[in-house]
Structure 1
């Protein structure tokens, strides 16, 4: 779509933010798992990231309801895909950091579904 002589404003991807009951706890989990430092912190919001790269945000939501994946009563709205070299080793590390492994694993030889401490599903895979 052409904008004629008007230049389009620069728009860039900045972050993905997750709603959760405890931003400090969830940011600790992802910060340790991904090696990302805190770039901003308040009682209700924490941002992780590296200078010049998109980050991950964690927003306190009153009345937060944990996703119930694979049960659809409280759907996941989005999830992260994390690339790993070794599924078993990565899963063990993430479980030690506070993730949970649900019983349902659609293709455990290709990827694993885990739940972060707030219940958000995320995947680890050697395909990324």
Structure 2
């Protein structure tokens, strides 16, 4: 028997779930989950994939690329234009680490809670 699983949610730790959900809603166009609150918030893609954010006391943002504390996970998003996408996301509150190993192929940004995420060409 082959086990079939469907990914339905990804959840990231953070200090302010509602603020982080709002950032990703603006960045992706996904809908804010209607039951988002101070402890847990999220956004939902049209096909049902849920990106959640849970509040953690004493949250420490990952430091990329040195790994102290480690990133533990990151998200990748495809875009049509790296420069344009980066500019929009920085205006929305993303950070741009100095270390950029992807050259013209991909970019590393950080969300407002410090989680690294990558932009790759579509």
The question of a shared fold, defined as TM-score above 0.5 by the shorter chain, is answered with: yes
Q: 1:38 matched to which residue of 2?
A: 32
* 1:12, distance to aligned residue in structure 2 (A): 2.7
* 1:52, distance to aligned residue in structure 2 (A): 3.9
Query: After TM superposition, where is structure 1 displaced by more than 3 Å over at least 4 residues in a row?
Result: none
**Residues 58-92 of structure 1, C-alpha deviations (whole Å, 9 max, x = no match):** 10000101101111221101101100000000000
Quote the Cα distance in structure 2 between the aligned partners of 1:109 and 1:51.
30
How well do the aligned residues superpose, as a CA RMSD in angstroms? Answer: 1.6
Q: 1:116 matched to which residue of 2?
A: 111
* 1:36, distance to aligned residue in structure 2 (A): 0.9
2:85 to 73, 90, 108: 90
Unaligned runs of 5+ in 2: none
Whether the aligned pair in 1 keeps the contact of 2:30 and 2:46 (CA below 8 Å) is no
Quote the Cα distance in structure 2 between the aligned partners of 1:85 and 1:36.
18
Quote the Cα distance in structure 1 between the aligned partners of 2:46 and 2:108.
29
**Secondary structure, in 3 states, of the residue corresponding to 2:77?**
strand
User: Structure 1 stretch 117-126 or stretch 66-75: which is displaced more?
Assistant: 66-75
Number of aligned positions between the proteins:
121
Q: Which has the larger radius of gyration?
A: 1
Quote the Cα distance in structure 1 between the aligned partners of 2:54 and 2:32.
14
Quote the Cα distance in structure 2 between the aligned partners of 1:105 and 1:86.
16
Give the structure-2-normalised TM-score. Answer: 0.92
1:1-128 maps to which residues of 2 (within 5 A)? 2=1, 11-39=5-33, 40-126=35-121, 128=122
**Secondary structure, in 3 states, of the residue corresponding to 1:72?**
coil
* 1:51, distance to aligned residue in structure 2 (A): 4.8
Pair 1:112–1:52, CA change in 2 (3 A): closer
